[in-house]
Amino acid sequence: MSMAGKVAIVAGGGRDIGRACALELASRGANVVISYHSSSTTAKSAVAEMEAMGVKAVAVQADLTTQEGVDACVKTAIDSFGKIDTLVHVSGGLVERIKIADMSLAHWHKVMDLNLTSLFMMSQACIPHMGKGSSIVTLASQAGRDGGGGGAVAYATSKGAIMTFTRGLAKELGPHIRVNGVCPGMISTGFHDTFTNDTIRANVAGATALKREGQSEEVAKLVAFLASDESSYMTGNNVDINGGLLFS
């Protein structure tokens, strides 16, 4: 799955799954721009690791819920490499577990902006710079299929919307640009370190067919496949990677 000479933006590439995606794409020969919000140390170390692979890499601090942040990220890619072949949009989060009875409108909008609106803005900004054969990979979630855990209705709703956005955008951009999504289940990341207690994590891992949590690097390999020409007849798909916890 060579991506030699390709240029990829990994939105939210500073840590966990996003960082693993950036490194995986670089290992296949892509030059990479990663955006990060607050993970400057891990973002900069990722750049050093990618450059050691013999590719070019740039990290840009940006708030992708703002037009200014989106424009800065895309401008960095064009100024550095002159084109965009792949957008991998990992940026997002749960923010806080809040049940709907206690949820403020501000929280609802914050989660939607973080996960969904940022994807819309990044896609809209990148598409004019993407040529025939380019690809977009979105990051949804198993929560988009099953509604998520307690206090995650806003997050799950935003991820379900990402799945629909993926399908609709694939129709709109075909045949020149492919759009596919990835729906991770329980992946061992800082997300679950923060929002999921150890008992629930153990129970979920035990309920999978593979009896374990997934790793960011495993998600990254799937993302790289969908970004590459190896998946040239796939578009509009939302692909599950959850160890056999849920089948669709």
Cβ 25 vs Cβ 32: under 8 Å: yes
155 tagged catalytic: yes
Q: Which position among 81, 155, 165, 191 bears the catalytic label?
A: 155
Q: Alpha helix (H) ranges present in 113-215?
A: 118-126, 143-146, 153-173, 190-195, 198-207
The dihedral formed by the CA atoms of 192, 198, 203 and 205, expressed in degrees to the nearest 10: 50
- CA 60 to CA 107: how far, in whole Å? 26
> Do 12 and 70 form a contact (C-beta atoms < 8 A)?
no
- Residue that is written with structure tokens 């999921």 in the block: 196
Question: Element (H or E) spanning 89, and its range?
Answer: strand 86-89
Which positions ≥6 away from 86 have C-beta within 8 Å? 3, 6, 7, 8, 9, 25, 30, 134, 135, 136, 137, 227
Which residues are identified as catalytic? 155
